[in-house]
Structure 1
Amino acid sequence: MRVRPVSGLSVNVDAHGRLDVIPEPAAPARRVRCGPVGTAMWLALRQCDGDVAAAARMLASLWDTEPANARADLDIWVDELRDAGLVRTEL
């Protein structure tokens, strides 16, 4: 499964590692702000070309945790972004 940002997003990361994903004003999506964990997940997904499994493996390695745990956390976070209208899934 691959996850892609929808078009028309503005993405910013502040000095404290907080990610701010802002849709264009006319978009049917809502703004989301994430802490450093959400920022790491966003970056991992982008670095892995939206491949959720690869991003989970990358995060598990970085965080020294089980890949299944990283994948579960990533899946929950992706669902939240999908519900906010910020990402779409490609099978």
Structure 2
Amino acid sequence: MTTRPDHELTAQVRPDGYLELLCRRTGRRHRCGPRGTTMWLALQRSDWQPEMAADEIALQLGVDPDSIRCDIHAWLAHFREAGA
């Protein structure tokens, strides 16, 4: 399933490596650590397809893609619930 970010969402990777997401509609800011930043960048590269993003991250880390898929889906659900 492809998940695309809200068109009102802007993203910036800050110099410290943290991802900052801003929802212009709500004014909410979300700051993501290295794990969230990695997921965001992998999702961008995979055309917002969580399964492909998980495969990419798993290959880089040498871990089971299923565990990464669970993390990505949970991360995306968090932002959907937050309205971001």
Partner of 1:48: 46
Partner of 1:58: 56
Structure with the higher fraction of residues in helix conformation: 2
Identical-residue share of aligned pairs (%): 37
Structure with the higher fraction of residues in strand conformation: 1
- Unaligned 5+ segments in structure 1 are 87-91
TM-score of the pair, normalised by structure 2: 0.91
| SS of residue matched to 2:54 | helix
Instruction: Report which structure shows greater RCO (CA 8 Å, sep ≥6).
Output: 1
Partner of 1:19: 19
CA distance in 2 between counterparts of 1:29 and 1:43 reads: 22
- Unaligned 5+ segments in structure 2 are none
Partner of 1:78: 76
Cα pair 1:21 1:31 within 8 Å, conserved: yes
Cα pair 1:16 1:36 within 8 Å, conserved: no
Equivalent residues, number: 84
Q: C-alpha displacement at 1:29, in angstroms? A: 6.7
